[in-house]
Structure 1
Amino acid sequence: MPDLDITQYDVTPALGRHRVLDPRSLAYRRPYTGETIRTVEWAPRVPVLDQQDLLKQDIHTSEMFDGVQDVDALGSCTANAATALLSVLLSHDACMKAGLDTTDAVAAERFAIGLYADATKADQWLDYTWPADDCGSSGLAVTKALRRRGLIDQYGHAKTAEELCALLQTGPVLMGMPWKSAFFEPVSSLALLDEIPNWQDSPVAGGHEVCITAIESVAQIEGDISYEHTVLRVRNSWSTSWGDAGSFRMSLAVYQALRSEIDLIQPRLDTRSQ
């Protein structure tokens, strides 16, 4: 096993991401070379997913896996975020061929749960896997799971705000982040995480994986990106009742403040027909 850089978090029904960095894959980081950063939007084809209230959605894990009891929520945020991203990369027909129904949120959530099982197996450092245990996973592992299924052909990393913005010019990006307790309740549906009072002093509730889908605004000061005034829109997986119809916003300043605990990875599909 390679020498991994691992930060493990407690897994809850809403939060199940661990931070796992592999120096071998970080060698494929895509450096920022000064290209113009523009506003951009990537719209997932799947509806907003919900990793909680599974039974209310008529999702029975006992019917999906042998010998497994029903659970009402899973720390499957890595797979939920990856499912949203995959629905951007693939056409509707390609999604259907892969078993992902982009027209049905419940069917797509079932797809994400199956992907979560694959991701936990790719996290070889973990002692447990789903469906035996709701053990959480990582952005790196769920990306490996997508590649093993033949749904992507490569992936790249970013480690700076500028590199993140450059990746977003070409597609959505998975972001694993420490989720502060204050982040559970945004000030309003349209507010930024930045606007939550004293969020910096809030304890970390766990690790969370989300899908960055847009740069809504870009600001520059003397040719450099202004972190405080460049805003990202991010797809969550807690249903449309949370945040702005299931998404939230944050400035690059929040990324910069949490950068040491964040990992960014972009699954890509470059070399074959979508």
Structure 2
Amino acid sequence: MPTTHGVLVRHYDVHPALGRHQVLDARSLAHRETHGGEALQPVRWQPAIPVLNQQDLLAQGIHTSTITGTRDVDAVGSCTANAAAAALSVLLDPPALERAGLPTDDPVAAEQWALQLYSEATAVDEFVPYQWPPADSGSSGLGVARVLKSRGLIGSYTHALDAAALAAALQKGPVLLGLPWFNAWFTPAADGFVDTVPYWRTSGLAGGHEVCAIGLEEVAQYSDGRVVPERTVLRLRNSWGPAWGQGGDFFLRLSTYVALREQVDAIQLHA
């Protein structure tokens, strides 16, 4: 986990369903969300785009060769861009989404948009050793945020560095959440939780994954305003299609975020 010039980089194995690396830059970490003890409420942000699927691309009629100029592949580790597309579709109004070229009524076209974003993110993310195409190298939440800012689609982005700040940020909008992904989490429990699956902690680390936190399903606070992680639940939008989890979503207790925080990054996009 090298740290160079204030940048921490944690690489994960890239999997067709997982392609996130953790990149923390001290310069951008200075711009952070805070929680001053104010009351928090359950909230849910609904992405304007359909649930995306970075897998089974050929079955969806998506030919990556039209994006990359190289051979078609059936899955790409584009989770960072898929999560960013979901967040952006909440942030921008319909005219702005149309100008951005991000369709809200066509999951195939929206996935193609995300794949193009992923390709650009791998090119600008100098902390990732390769780029796609040709290598499916993975990218970072910071990388996709930088591309969206350079395109003029967002004005800024901020970081949530603790549980209370993450819960407070979700009061204002969705958050890109980069996580270590465990083997047991590929199959959520019947209620959509991944961290109630037995033995998930010892199931082995599959890689790094980026999802879009779209709400607080439940939230609890102490009398002094501090958040109670064990009684606060995140709703997260995945990018493995609507048949996965709860219509494409899943749940994670904020206490699990706390336990894994060293390997987590949380970025909120701003217009």
TM-score, structure 2 as length reference: 0.96
SS in 2 for 1:176: strand
Stretch of structure 1 that moved more, 225-234 or 144-153: 225-234
Which of the numbers 136, 158, 161 marks the counterpart of 2:160? 158
Task: Report percent identity of matched pairs.
Answer: 52
Say if 2:229 and 2:253, in contact at 8 Å, map to a contact too: yes
- Note the C-alpha offset of 1:191: 3.4
- Aligned-pair Cα RMSD in Å: 1.2
SS in 1 for 2:87: helix
SS in 1 for 2:145: helix
Give 2:152's aligned amino acid.
G
- Note the C-alpha offset of 1:157: 0.3
Q: What is aligned with 2:43? A: 40
Q: Deviations over 1:188-213 (max 9, x none)?
A: 1x232231112122211000000000
- Note the C-alpha offset of 1:13: 0.4
- Note the C-alpha offset of 1:267: 1.0
Partners in 1 of 2:65 and 2:139 — Cα distance?
A: 21
TM-score, structure 1 as length reference: 0.95
Q: What is aligned with 2:208? A: 207
Q: What is aligned with 1:133? A: 135
Partners in 2 of 1:2 and 1:108 — Cα distance?
A: 36
For structure 1, which runs of at least 5 residues remain unmatched after alignment?
Answer: 270-274
For structure 2, which runs of at least 5 residues remain unmatched after alignment?
Answer: none
Q: What is aligned with 1:12? A: 15
SS in 1 for 2:34: coil
- Note the C-alpha offset of 1:31: 2.3
Q: Deviations over 1:29-86 (max 9, x none)?
A: 12222222111111000000000000001100112232x1000000000000000000
1:52 aligns with 2:55: yes
Partners in 2 of 1:65 and 1:249 — Cα distance?
A: 34
- Note the C-alpha offset of 1:23: 0.5
Q: What is aligned with 1:23? A: 26
**Equivalent residues, number:** 267
Stretch of structure 1 that moved more, 229-238 or 24-33: 24-33
SS in 2 for 1:21: strand
Q: What is aligned with 2:192? A: 191
